[in-house]
Structure 1
Amino acid sequence: MPQSDPTELRPPRPRSRRGPGWLLLLVLLAAGIGWYAWNVRSSASGAAAPGATDTQQAAVQQPAPTDAAPGAEPQEGEIQNPIEEPLGEQAVLPALDESDVDVGKELAQLLGGQRAGAFLQLDAFVRRAVATVDNLAREQAPARMWPVHPMPGRFTVHEQGGAQRIAAENSARYEAFVALAESVPAAAAAQLYARLYPLFQVAYEELGYPGKYFNDRLVAVIDHLMASPEPAEPPAVHLVSVAGQVQSLQPWVRYEFLDPQLQQLSAGQKIMVRVGLDKERRLKRVLAGLRAQVAKAAPPKAGQ
């Protein structure tokens, strides 16, 4: 597929003084903690997630959303949340297909080489990040396109009041990622996102969004995640039966929320609920700070 020149996708410098945002932070806190998302269809079929070599093709072939998709950005042609071009002379960005090395170096400098390698899938990172952000407001966020490595441990439940509920100790598995999200240096990450933004825009248009602005989608997804419900107690879940003679080697991925309203949530909102109330609220504080960096439009009012 012919690629656009990234430098052509930078909008004129807006008058707003708001700084650009930190896409990496959203990916870490939302995609990373959700590795063990409940994907009944994939576990039922027994299909393994494709390797990294499939990432580019999978991302390009991902269908565009309908206008009614949760967290869809405004449909007007005008950019709602423009990213300011960094001040001063900037290095020429590589083409998206050739950007892995440069992006990997930037992420290693931001997070430290050891943490970047431990947490992130650095191959095709930009495409992975864009596809994951776009998918968080949808029913499923395919693991094969996530920009993070799987987390240790597994999803656990316990019996309470005649029902299986998410175990309290399950929340502890997410502490490292939540702490990392809280520790990302905002100013440095904002500058990195601004420098690399044309690459994210190219990747977004590859998904089937010509003329759409990726940062508007990012802000819409942040607002969607901020609207996640906050159950007062760990939600009840049940194990989905799978027909067939071949048993799943990972039965814990076949849990669904017992509450139909929770089960109808998007992949991203399910992740927010699944981490536990305390960590969900911590993540929402991080998201609020992230939104202040990336957004020019006012947040939606409660209940909208």
Structure 2
Amino acid sequence: MRDDSPQACAASSMSTARRTLLAVVIGAAIIGAAALWWNMSRPAPQTPVAAAPAPEPAAAPAAPESAAAPAEPVVQYPVEAQPAQALPLKAADLGTVLTDLLGRKAVLEFLALDEFPRRLVATVDNLGRSHAPPMLWPIKPTPGRFMVEERAGGSVINADNSQRYTPLVLLAESVDTGKAVDLYIRMYPLLQQAYEELGYPKAYFNDRLIAVIDQLLATPGADEPIQVHLTEVKGSVASLQPWVRYEFSNPAFESLSAGQKIMLRVGSVNERRLKVKLSAVRQQLIKRVVPR
């Protein structure tokens, strides 16, 4: 018999949740993306859903009608030139360099290396939007159980839930930020190509990355415990996945981007620690760009 209680339903949801958080932890360590958790829907990556207050990718200014060629796109944070001793990576080299950064055990256990640049770029881009579909994440599923607690005012996220993410936060903190950004720069041609193929031929992924980091750092604080609820599903057909229906009860929190929701849901202590790491990554990224 299927158990559709909030606790049992949420258990499957949190398998995806741990997967998404780890994706961001590794993504932040590799390129400073962020920490991500709890995705609810599946929009196609080629047509990402806009969600306020997500910053849109840098766009090319309109060219005058008399211009002979289209105007160059505006670059806010160009990536520095490749040093001679660190040539750009090929897709076939990613497994080796990621193992050097994270360790063989972590790569084998967590990463999905097939189409890694596409997965990573789509995930980062979606952090600043309303949904971050788990099928696009560059990591493998991780087991886990999400805990809610019933109180007089409704369901809240159990205080012990944040403890499950502490090891992942420690992983992000353990990765050398400078080495992570070095790898990001070497990987950047692959990431930029994937970003253009995602639907942004006149924008730069590095601009989008920094914009998403800024958005995550601006995540508002929240008093704990945070109240959640299962959304009502109308119709005669029963929901086959009731666990995907958890939402914030506070409309202001529910209107945040997918990445900001995750920053709230990992718990206040983990959120503060992740913000410290993100700030360090951002600082390194800004230092490593050159004006055009």
- TM-score band by shorter chain is 0.7 to 0.9
Distance 1:196 1:263 in 2: 34
Q: TM-score, normalised by structure 2?
A: 0.77
Partner deviation per Cα, 1:167-199 (whole Å, 9 max, x = no partner): 011111211221111111112212111111111
1:30 corresponds, among 35, 39, 59, to 35
The gaps in structure 1 that reach 5 residues or longer are: 1-20, 43-48, 50-57, 298-304
| Shift, 1:66, TM fit | 6.2
What residue in structure 2 maps to residue 286 of structure 1?
277
Percent of residue pairs bearing the same amino acid type: 47
- CA distance 1:175–1:66, change in 2 (3 Å): closer
Q: Aligned match of 1:107 in 73, 77, 98?
A: 98
Deviations, residues 260-280 of structure 1 (Å, cap 9, x unaligned): 111111111110111111111
Determine if contact 1:155/1:170 at 8 Å carries over to the other structure.
Answer: yes
Q: Residue 70 of structure 1 is aligned with which of 54, 63, 67?
A: 54
The CA deviation at 1:86 is: 3.1
Q: Which residue of 2 aligns with 1:301?
A: none
Q: Structure 2, unaligned stretches of length 5 or more? A: 1-26, 62-72
> Per the alignment, do residues 208 and 195 of structure 1 end up closer, same or farther by CA in structure 2, a change over 3 Å counting?
same
Q: How many corresponding residue pairs? A: 249
CA shift, 1:252, in A, is: 3.2
Q: Does 1:260 align with 2:244?
A: no
Instruction: Give CA-to-partner distance per residue, 1:93-147, whole Å, 9 cap, x none.
Output: 43xxxx1x31111101111111112222111111000000000111101111011
Between the aligned partners of 1:69 and 1:265, the Cα distance in structure 2 is 7
1 CA distance for matches of 2:155 and 2:51?
36
Distance in 1 between residues matched to 2:166 and 2:51, nearest whole Å: 35
Q: Pick from 149, 157, 165: which aligns with 2:148?
A: 157
1:120 and 1:149 in contact (8 A); partners too: yes
Alpha-carbon offset, residue 74 of structure 1: 4.5
Measure the CA separation in 1 of the matches of 2:268 and 2:158: 12
Contact 1:23/1:193 (8 A) holds in 2: no
Look up the match of 1:223: 214
The residue type paired with residue 266 of structure 1 is S
Instruction: Tell me the amino acid that sits aligned with residue 275 of structure 2.
Output: K
Instruction: Please show how residues 157-196 of structure 1 align to structure 2 within 5 Å.
Output: 157-196=148-187
- Quote the residue 1:206 is aligned against: 197
1:119 is the counterpart of 2:115: no
Partner Cα separation in structure 2 for residue 184 and residue 81 of structure 1: 23
Structure 1-normalised TM-score?
Answer: 0.74
**Any conservation in 1 of the 2:229–2:248 contact (CA below 8 Å)?**
yes
